[in-house]
Structure formats: C-alpha cells, structure tokens
Chain A
Amino acid sequence: MDFANSEAQAGPQVQDALPASARSAVKVVVVGGFGVGKTTLVGSVSEIRPLTTEETMTQAGAGVDSLVGAENKTETTVAMDFGRISIDENLVLYLFGTPGQERFWFLWKGLFEGALGAVVLIDTRRLEVSFSVINRLEERGVPFVVAVNAFPDAPVHPMEEIRSALDLPDYVPMVRCDARERASSRDTLLALMSYLHSLTTAPAPERP
C-alpha cells in the first residue's frame, strides 16, 4: 500500500497545532489506485507531514458475530493518508487520500459524507481502477475533477484521448498535474473548487 507505517505518537508537534480559533473543517478526497501519487499530492500541499488513519474491516462468517469466533474472522486494515491546509484562522481543509479499488469502498461511507468533492488522480498507464471509481462517484452524486498525474516515464496523451478512454462526460473538468509540485497540486484543488463554484452558481449541467 502506498503509505508509511503508522507510528503512534504522543500528539502533534507544537508547530503543527491549530490555533484555538479553528472553528470548523471541510474535507476533500483524493482517490486513485495504488502508486498513482495520492500521498505525494496530499504531502505536497499539506502544512503538516501527512498522517495515517487506519480502519479495520472485519470479514466475518455469515450471520455469526461473536467475540468467541474472532479467530475465524479475517481482519483487514486499510490506511488513509491525509494532510491539512489552514484556510484562515477559522477554517481548516483536510485532504484524504483513499484507494480506489472496489474492495476499499467501505471506507467511503464516512469519508464522502460532507466532503466538498473529490479529485480522481490517474496514471495514464493504468486507467483500469479509474473506471469503477468514476462510476461510483457519479452514482453517489459526488462532484469531482480528474487529474492526470505526470509521471516522467509515462507517455503524454492528449486530454481528449484520455477523456474518451475514460468515457468521461464533457462537464467533468480534467487537469494535468505534477503531484510532487506544491503549486501544481494546489492548482488541482483550485480546479475542483472552481468546478464546484460553477455548479453552485450556474444552472445544473445536464447529467445523466
């Protein structure tokens, strides 16, 4: 998985503490396959070193759920890396990177509730994961932009070719980004915000 081992720490460093005036937070989800650069993107714009939160998924035998039977359960721990951007003295933006594979969608329930929107980060060499992610976001009504991460050794395809390959509707913005670059990651987030802004201020585009 594309995250560092989590280490239990006593708490944030002094310089990582939010001001007492921090009143509320919002979140944006960065979703994509393993190794696509989610954590890199989060880390490049985050004001704190990306942290890891874990969730445990129990796959139990059908209809039986007792502690006695715990040894028969399959435990799967999924980690999400996240970062933070203080927008102003009151408002904090959290960025969560989450794997796009369908078996991790159980994480999405709490994650997308109340999220502003999502960035679908893609690697043009491995578009497979993106199909189901895009479908799922559309089903859930989560607004998103698609960011094509620029890998040095990946061939550069015209955006329209990628849009066509992803069967992506015209109204979904696409941007190129270099997740390693702070400015580029910031601009990707700004593209999402501009899109959301256009959705709130303009008549709803025709959506299937």
Chain B
Amino acid sequence: MSGPDNVRHPGWADGVEGGPERLYVVTAGRSSSSAPVVLDLVTLIVSRGRPERATQPEHTAILRMCASPLSVAEISAYMGLPASTVTVLLADLVHGGHVEARAPVPVAQLPDVELLEAVMHGLRKL
C-alpha cells in the first residue's frame, strides 16, 4: 500500500544533532555529553542539590523546577528548549550529582503483564 505522502526526503536522517547557535552556546558547543547518560523523554528528573550549586542559569532553572519529579519532556516544554538540548544540560547535572534520573519502566518487545494491568487499573479510575 502506498499513499501520496510516501515521498522520501533523503536529507532527513535519524538523530542528527544540531540547532540554532543559541543552543550551541547553551550546551557549550557539545552536541552530546562526554559520558553516556541515557535519558528518555519520560525519564523522571529530581533535584538533589540546591539551585545555587549550579553554575549556569539553565542548570539553576532545571534544579528549581525539579524539586518534584519532572520528565525530560516537561523540562523541555517549560524551558522552551529542544529535548536534545535539555538532555545535554541534564547529563551535566547527572554527572555532577545534582539530580537523580529515574529511568522509565523498561519495555521489551511487549510490555510486562503486571505493568499493563496497573495502567488499565489507573485508566479505569479516570
């Protein structure tokens, strides 16, 4: 099957980092952090330290808003920065021990039955 939308755009590739110069400056020129910190859009971030321990305004802002757990996607939304940029900033904070990163529930090819039952139970209460 095919649709009219089925045209390939060869210039588009998966996972290409980049952005306006502003983002380049915010992340001090790095497109990824030095050591791998795996952060998903739904990794929950919680501050460990007080905001004044951070060195740049973006770090301080993140530490403030993560007094309660917040996903990477929410941080991106509240900061008005792309998720890829926020991920670089968060990797610094994780390395510095300023925040705790709570990984998403691992989902293999198919999710765990108990996890699904918990989600269904939660949805039925809505």
Could you tell me the distance between the alpha carbons of A189 and B73 in the complex, rounded to whole angstroms? 20
- Any B CB within 8 A of the CB of A26: yes
If the complex has contacts A26-B119, A52-B77, A56-B20, are A18 and B70 also in contact, measured as CB distance less than 8 A? Answer: yes
Asked if residues A94 and B41 are in contact (CB atoms below 8 Å), the reply is yes
Sort chain B's interface into a size bin. 35 or more
Could you tell me the distance between the alpha carbons of A82 and B83 in the complex, rounded to whole angstroms? 13
Which of chain A's residues has its CB closest to B29's CB? A67
Cβ 8 A contact of B46, one of A20, A167, A193, A197: A20
Sample 25 A-B pairs with CB under 8 A, ordered by A number. Answer: A9-B78, A12-B74, A19-B69, A22-B68, A22-B102, A24-B104, A25-B43, A45-B126, A53-B77, A53-B82, A54-B83, A56-B19, A60-B16, A75-B20, A88-B118, A94-B41, A102-B6, A110-B40, A114-B105, A114-B107, A128-B4, A131-B2, A131-B3, A186-B124, A197-B113
Residue numbers of B with Cβ under 8 A of A are 1-9, 11-21, 23-24, 40-44, 46, 61, 64-65, 67-71, 73-74, 76-84, 102-107, 109-113, 115-124, 126
For A25, the chain B residues whose CB sits under 8 A away are 42-44, 71, 102, 104-105
For B44, the chain A residues whose CB sits under 8 A away are 18, 22-25, 92
Asked if residues A19 and B116 are in contact (CB atoms below 8 Å), the reply is no
For A100, the chain B residues whose CB sits under 8 A away are 5
Binary interface profile of A, 98-118, with partner B (CB < 8 Å = 1, else 0)?
001111011001110111110
For A17, the chain B residues whose CB sits under 8 A away are 67-68, 70
For A55, the chain B residues whose CB sits under 8 A away are 82-84
- Any B CB within 8 A of the CB of A38: no
Asked if residues A197 and B120 are in contact (CB atoms below 8 Å), the reply is yes
With most chain B CB atoms within 10 A of its CB, the pick from A102, A167, A186 is: A102
Asked if residues A93 and B119 are in contact (CB atoms below 8 Å), the reply is yes
For B82, the chain A residues whose CB sits under 8 A away are 53-56, 77
For A105, the chain B residues whose CB sits under 8 A away are 12
With most chain A CB atoms within 10 A of its CB, the pick from B41, B70, B78, B117 is: B41
- Any B CB within 8 A of the CB of A1: no
